[in-house]
């Protein structure tokens, strides 16, 4: 419960809709935001000298007094009435249809009424109701914290802010911003002209928030001053978003883009194969066939060794035509709809990114669509184990994975974390997983190697020669 109407001023001014706070007994308007003054074509100071019936056409004003009394008689604190279109009178004498939502606003010692107003044309373009100011904050899917600026003390927070920080509202209110481990500076303030929108760069920072349970949550933070020229205090609104959730969404989007790129590549390959097949059939075979006919004519008029050599050449041309036709047939065979190796790699990356909290960079070099199955079946568990080690031990902020295939299949995983200390032959001491990865390489006559690049972090390199499954079995 808010203790003073003045505490509502910065919150009311942060709303994207016109809003009034009214005394239900008398209809007096005790507080209006800047959007209400724009809507009714007068200053806030003027609005705050009126009663609500001054904003209603005369033919409806008497009925409104009765409706106001009925609303006051019912205990519907913190519940909104259904938004409905009503006629209002602007101070220039014109009328406008507005959607009005109202609800009780309990303060210490009295209960006022909050009215949120929208132009009916705008209201019809949205499928939502305007909520009570505190409820409106609660339903926003980003963390919102209202601060007093000197010192930086929390005066209100919405449900999402409480959920992300692990604190209850009662625990947050009155605490300093330092409780959350969030750093503030004037450079992070959204310029005042951006509060109502502009194209300039938004000052956004990525910080680590200390939750009540001791865990650290990565968040994206921005600050906006709450119209200091019109507020009773120099309030600040802190807006923060869960970066883990945003990164999961980005990871899913990126994986979908990679799959679409792979499918597009396969479509292009199929189209190119069809074109080559047509060129061979329509041009090359016809030219060879014509050359063969000419040689046949020469052979018929030749004798001895010359005739024999011409006949052998004609036979070679016939064999060439047969081979080209076989190649054309192979080109027309359908290729796999999706590169299954790349799909499996992306699935492992998706799983790891849920725990890492950020997307991994991935690069494929060479064709992976026809790799020996035995190599793929050994490589995938190595990729999964390597990424698991990064999650558990590295404290990395970025990870890159490269899979390349030519004469060898090479998997590299680089992270920019703390590096490793060898315990025996085991980076970071997790011997069992390392031995398994190494065994999978040795089984295919390959090797496993760990490096510490100059720029820091850890590079895992797993490499095996490419050969058929029959050869692997002989080893």
Summarised one tens digit per residue, pLDDT across range 49-106 is 999 888 888 777 777 777 776 666 654 433 334 445 677 777 777 888 887 877 777 7
pLDDT exceeds cutoff 70 at 127: no
C-alpha separations of 74 from 86, 143, 325 in Å: 21, 32, 88
**Is the Cβ–Cβ distance between 42 and 60 less than 8 Å?**
no
**In the prediction, which pLDDT does 78 show?**
36
Matching residue, tokens 């947050």: 172
Segment 434-441 mean pLDDT = 90
Per-residue buried b or exposed e for 226-263, using 16+ beta carbons within 10 Å of the residue's own CB: bbeeebebebbbbbbbbbbeebbeebeebbeebeeebe
pLDDT exceeds cutoff 70 at 221: yes
**In the prediction, which pLDDT does 334 show?**
58
pLDDT exceeds cutoff 70 at 426: no
Of the candidates 83, 113, 96, 16, the one whose C-alpha atom is nearest the C-alpha of residue 55 is 96
Segment 322-342 mean pLDDT = 67
pLDDT confidence tier of residue 375, bands split at 50, 70 and 90: very high
- Position with higher pLDDT, 4 vs 184: 184
pLDDT confidence tier of residue 10, bands split at 50, 70 and 90: confident
Token output for 317: 């041309």
Of the candidates 227, 207, 316, 176, the one whose C-alpha atom is nearest the C-alpha of residue 11 is 227
Summarize pLDDT for 266-290 with one digit per residue, the tens.
778 778 877 887 777 777 777 888 8
**In the prediction, which pLDDT does 381 show?**
93
Average pLDDT in the chain: 77
**In the prediction, which pLDDT does 113 show?**
83
């Amino acid at each position: 419960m808010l203790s003073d109407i003045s505490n509502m001023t910065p919150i009311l001014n942060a709303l994207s809709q016109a809003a009034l706070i009214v005394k239900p007994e008398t209809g007096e308007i005790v507080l209006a935001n800047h959007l209400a003054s724009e809507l009714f074509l007068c200053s806030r100071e003027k609005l705050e000298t009126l009663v609500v019936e001054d904003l209603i056409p005369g033919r409806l004003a008497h009925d409104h007094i009765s409706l106001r009394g009925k609303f006051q008689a019912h205990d519907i604190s913190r519940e909104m009435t259904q938004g409905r279109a009503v006629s209002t009178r602007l101070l220039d004498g014109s009328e406008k249809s507005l959607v009005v939502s109202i609800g009780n606003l309990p303060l210490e010692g009295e209960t006022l009424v909050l009215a949120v107003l929208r132009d009916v044309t705008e209201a019809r373009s949205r499928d939502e109701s305007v909520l009570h100011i505190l409820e409106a904050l609660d339903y926003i899917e980003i963390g919102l914290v209202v601060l007093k600026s000197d010192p930086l003390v929390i005066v209100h927070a919405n449900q999402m802010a409480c959920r992300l920080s692990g604190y209850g509202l009662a625990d947050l209110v009155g605490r300093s911003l330092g409780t959350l481990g969030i750093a503030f500076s004037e450079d992070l303030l959204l310029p005042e002209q951006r509060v109502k929108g502009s194209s300039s760069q938004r000052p956004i920072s990525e910080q680590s928030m200390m939750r009540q349970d001791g865990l650290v949550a990565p968040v994206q933070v921005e600050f906006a001053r709450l119209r200091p020229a019109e507020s009773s205090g120099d309030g600040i609104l802190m807006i923060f978003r869960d970066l883990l959730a945003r990164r999961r969404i980005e990871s899913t989007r990126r994986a979908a883009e990679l799959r679409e790129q792979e499918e597009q590549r396969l479509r292009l390959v199929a189209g190119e194969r069809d074109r080559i097949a047509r060129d061979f059939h329509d041009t090359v075979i016809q030219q060879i066939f014509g050359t063969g006919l000419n040689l046949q004519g020469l052979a018929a008029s030749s004798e001895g060794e010359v005739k024999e050599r011409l006949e052998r050449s004609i036979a070679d041309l016939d064999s060439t035509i047969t081979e080209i036709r076989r190649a054309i047939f192979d080109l027309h065979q359908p290729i796999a709809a999706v590169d299954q190796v790349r799909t499996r790699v992306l699935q492992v990356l998706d799983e790891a990114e849920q725990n890492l909290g950020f997307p991994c960079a991935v690069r494929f070099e060479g064709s992976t669509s026809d790799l020996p199955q035995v190599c793929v079946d050994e490589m995938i568990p190595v990729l999964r184990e390597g990424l698991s080690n990064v999650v558990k031990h590295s404290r990395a902020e970025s990870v890159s994975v490269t899979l390349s295939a030519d004469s060898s299949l090479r998997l590299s995983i680089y992270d920019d974390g703390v590096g490793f200390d060898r315990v025996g032959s085991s980076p970071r001491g997790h011997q069992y997983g390392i031995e398994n990865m190494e065994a999978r390489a040795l089984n295919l006559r390959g090797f496993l190697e760990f490096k510490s690049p100059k720029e820091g972090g850890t590079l895992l390199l797993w490499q095996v020669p490419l050969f058929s499954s029959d050869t692997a079995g002989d080893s």
